[in-house]
Amino acid sequence: MRTDIIKKVEDYMKTELMKLAGYQDHTPRMAEYRIEHSFRVAHIAVEIARAEGFDEEKAYVAGLLHDIGYAVDFRTKEEYREHGRVGAGIARRFLKELGCYRDEEIEEMCYAIAIHVDEKADFPGEKTPFTLSIGEADNIDRFDAYRLYEGLHFADYMNLPLDEQRAFVEKRLAGLGRLLEEPFATNTSASMWKEKIHYQIAFYERLKNQIEKSF
């Protein structure tokens, strides 16, 4: 990967996503989290690209910019659902100004960004293993260790009565079991996904076992 280009993309992503801190009901920490998530998705995308023979630089760039739509001051859930398509437009303008990618490369990366939320775009493109891999990298990050902690934190798990803790864990285990059947565009994504899901299942099963011994 070209380090000079990567540095420019990283700096742009961080500058744009820090705008979140100035929007209603957002904090600097929320902006920082979105930046951290974007880096993690970029690294996962590169791991997939390396195993599958995709262009690693384009995977990293698309991963970095996949949530750039959050630089817009969205106010409703419906607007937030558009952040992939909005982000593709933002990314396209930036990548054209960068001047180091062919038009077809830019469109491929932007299509990957556009479809990463719901596999829908508002411009023509092809759902290839590469373009689908960015959304898959996003999903893989959402089920890794940090999000496990985050889910417990936002559920205020420590302050739940024990019977509600058990119900929470049982609901999570049921949902995780269903997620194992999710389809993926590459064997690498599928393998990474299953590893994350099995990790969470093992954690919640151990937690459930402890809960059962707490009565």
Closest CA to 21 of 73, 87, 77: 73
Closest CA to 142 of 154, 151, 133: 151
| pLDDT tens figures, 44-89 | 999 999 999 999 999 999 999 999 999 998 888 888 889 999 999 9
Dihedral angle over CA of 204, 208, 210, 211, nearest 10: 130
The gap between the terminal CA atoms of the chain, to the nearest Å, is 55
Q: Using an 8 Å Cβ cutoff, are 134 and 125 in contact?
A: no
Residue found by looking up tokens 């990790």 in the block: 199
Q: Residue 215 — very low, low, confident or very high, per pLDDT cuts 50/70/90?
A: confident
Element (H, E) at 203: helix 187-212
Element (H, E) at 117: none
Closest CA to 139 of 55, 66, 54, 52: 66
Domain extent listing, the chain: 3-134, 143-212
The answer to whether the pTM exceeds 0.85 is yes
User: Which class is 3-134 in CATH?
Assistant: mainly alpha
- 141 by Cβ neighbours in 10 Å (0-12 / 13-18 / 19+) ranks as buried
In the chain, % of residues over pLDDT 70 = 100
